[in-house]
Chains A and B, each alone.
Chain A
Amino acid sequence: MPMTVKAAEMPQFEAGTATDPSDPESREHQPARSVSAFSLAFSMPVVVWQALFFLLPLAFLLVLTLWTVQSFRLIPDLSAANWARVYGTGFFWDAYLRTFALATSSAVLVSTIAFPLTYCIAFHLSANAQRLAVLLLVTPFFTSYLVRVYTWQAFLADEGLINSALAILGLGPLTMLNNVGGIFIGYATLCLPLVVLLQLMSMANVDRSLVEAAHNLCCSPLRTVFAVVIPASRVGLVLGALFCFILTFGDFVSPTYLGGGNPPTLGILITDFTKAGNQWPRAAVVAVTMVITLLVIAFAAVRFAYKTRRSAL
């Protein structure tokens, strides 16, 4: 069940961030000209792709929110009752705020942990070592995220590897599972390599003469990180945090298997709705709310990342 939800969500996020902001805008700026059959033929795949994998599922999801469920059976309908019901409950808003807070703090936390690593790779490694580092950052993707989260259970459990080691030293046991700490470990497992790669994309391309110019103007190396490196690699830093937010906002695995599943996040809420009473329409209401939230966040983040300095003030 959870996998169905994820599979439906993922392409939509990609479509939202990658195509929507750039495509229609760039076309608007071009002078009007007659549409040739040739250009039409070449733009068709984009349109078809968008329609098939973004608009159609989204439309279906929206329609589904208006259906009703009677005796565990889906009845096509045009009822706003699901929206009223879901938005009228306190636990939905609790879950929404909790999920939002978790995703936001994981974006901040994971970005903060990733930054020194990225900085080290970008500024202190040779070109060969950089390539090796990138290769190593890709290797976690060889294994399923679910498997990696299960592996953490073996480490973090009350009788797990870490607590057994601590017991030998006469320490512990520490509770590391079924709490927020467990969730963040899962989120870091999910996002850290990707966030480092995204940050690296920008930081490796920061003009070295900017860093030298800052030193030359009496800016100490530590201060240069904040005064030059961070603003100069803003695109990668923002995109890294954005992807971390997107991935964790919709994640079901870490909150369930490392966080204990209670109190629920929106991802867990969706599965709960579908399991209890076959409430697909209410699950769809939650899903649509999540899609809209992510679209807003993604648009805002991309706009902020690529904001060029204008003669403001």
Chain B
Amino acid sequence: MSSVLQIKNVTKRFGAATAVDSLSLDVGAGEFLAIMGSSGSGKSTLLRMIAGLEQPSEGDILLNDVSTRGLAAHERDTPMVWQSLALFPFLNVLENVEFGLKMRGVAPAERRKRAMTWLERLEIERFAKRAITELSGGQRQRVALARSLVTEPPVLLLDEPLSALDAHLTMRMQSVLSGLQRELGITFVYVTHSHSEAFSMSDRVVIMSEGRIQQIGTPRDLYLRPVSRFVAEFLGANNIFSGEVREDHQGEKVLTTEDGPIRLPERAYSRALGERIELVVSSDRLVLTDGEAPNRLSGRLIGEEFIGAGVNLFLETGSGREIIIQVPQRELNDLSLTPGRSLTVGWLPDDGHVIESDDRFRHVS
């Protein structure tokens, strides 16, 4: 996979504050890359540097192997979809979409034709002569996409484009976006704070914090094998146990916790005795059990949360630790969810994932 976009040791400082800290990243041609992070993580600054709206303090950004150093925003072919959409209110739909072509000196007849093609593609051709103020949120979203894509750029930058839409519209736009991306083969760099947007559409996800990449990988990788406690907690829906590596009487490696020993996955058998590690178990890997399970924990039911097809149950163990378990709706039919009821959860040792004890993010929990 050839790289369309290479970010090389880029640092961006605003006064004394460092927004992006010597960050490197390669984005492949035709890739859908999501960048996630909480606000202030530097994700938007990174996107703005790619677009040339900010210049890096150090490092370089290569577009199709060409350095963009010194290139102003209007000298780059990196259109962006704004969170506010930034559609021109004084132009109608067609004129908005034509804007980029007009600036590139495309003749009127030609640019009208190309703009109309894009309006048709996004199924908004009947609104061509409408004012922006006469459109709904979803229609505006499509105009913004058409305006950015009309020049058929190598890379499209998207800065939380769906955050202003309501839930069902977000779902529809997600399928529009991923459909377009696959069809066009254009590289999408998509900044978001929404897990569902990042995980449902992207090939790879970057988790950023404090201007650095915490982890990069496929959604599945990140979810099953977070490298740090920060990533595990950021992605939520995870149970994290910390303790020391010991050997039980059967000679198997276990993690000692306040709630008793937990058997480690075989992958972690190389860990030395006495080493402090953390074990992540995804909430969907836990099952409710009343009999035998290699790893077991009991707790009182303290809360529940419906999430569509499933339910998140919150248990509190004897030591006061909170455990999240995701249960499919059908399993709940013959289960009474009286608060305070005692439940036992179990899981296979190999569903656990060991991360290094990360002191940097220790302050959480």
Contacts and interface: CB of A to CB of B under 8 A. Distances in A.
Interface of A: 207, 209-210, 212-221, 223, 227-228, 231-232, 234, 308-313
Contact of B130 (A212, A308, A311): A311
A311 B134 contact: yes
Contacts of B77: 218
B329 interface: no
Contact of B131 (A231, A234, A308): A308
B131 A207 contact: no
Contacts, number: 84
B84 A209 contact: yes
Interface centre among A209, A228, A308 (most CB of B within 10 A): A209
A217 B79 contact: yes
Contacts of B51: 216
Interface string B88-114: 111110000001100110000000000
B112 to A, nearest CB: 12
Interface string B33-76: 00000000000000000011100000000000000000011110
Interface in B250-298: none
A231 B90 contact: yes
Interface residues of B: mostly helix, strand, loop or mixed? loop
Given A234-B90, A308-B133, A215 B74 contact: yes
B86 interface: yes
A209 B86 contact: yes
Nearest to A217: B100
B220 interface: no
B140 to A, nearest CB: 13
A52 to B, nearest CB: 39
Given A223-B103, A313-B129, A218 B74 contact: yes
Contacts of A308: 131, 133
B89 A309 contact: yes
Given A210-B88, A232-B89, A232-B90, A216 B131 contact: no
B133 A207 contact: no
Contact of B103 (A209, A219, A313): A219
Contacts of B131: 308-311
A215 B133 CA distance: 22
B53 A215 contact: yes
A311 B92 CA distance: 8
A216 B89 contact: no
A212 B82 CA distance: 10
B72 A212 contact: no
B11 interface: no
B147 interface: yes
Interface in B237-252: none
B80 interface: yes
Contacts of A309: 89-92, 131-133
B78 interface: yes
B218 to A, nearest CB: 30
Nearest to B159: A209
24 contacts: A207-B84, A207-B86, A213-B86, A213-B88, A215-B72, A216-B74, A216-B78, A217-B99, A217-B148, A217-B151, A218-B75, A218-B151, A219-B103, A220-B74, A223-B103, A231-B90, A232-B90, A234-B90, A308-B131, A308-B133, A311-B92, A311-B130, A311-B134, A313-B129
Contact of A311 (B87, B104, B129): B129
Given A215-B72, A216-B53, A220-B74, A312 B129 contact: yes
Contacts of A220: 74
Contacts of A223: 103
A220 B103 CA distance: 8
A234 B88 CA distance: 13
Given A213-B86, A311-B129, A219 B74 contact: yes
Given A207-B84, A213-B82, A309-B92, A218 B133 contact: no
B76 to A, nearest CB: 8
B70 to A, nearest CB: 15
A232 B132 CA distance: 13
B126 to A, nearest CB: 11
Contacts of B75: 218
A176 to B, nearest CB: 41
A91 B66 CA distance: 71
Given A216-B73, A217-B100, A210 B86 contact: yes
Nearest to B83: A209
A207 B148 CA distance: 18
Interface string B105-144: 0000000000000000000000001111110000000000
Contacts of B74: 214-221
A221 B130 CA distance: 27
A2 to B, nearest CB: 42
Nearest to A212: B53
A214 B104 CA distance: 12
A212 B84 CA distance: 12
A209 B80 CA distance: 11
A232 B100 CA distance: 18
A168 to B, nearest CB: 47
Given A217-B99, A219-B99, A310-B131, 13 more contacts: A212-B73, A214-B74, A214-B103, A215-B53, A219-B74, A220-B74, A221-B74, A223-B103, A227-B99, A232-B90, A309-B89, A311-B134, A313-B129
A226 to B, nearest CB: 12
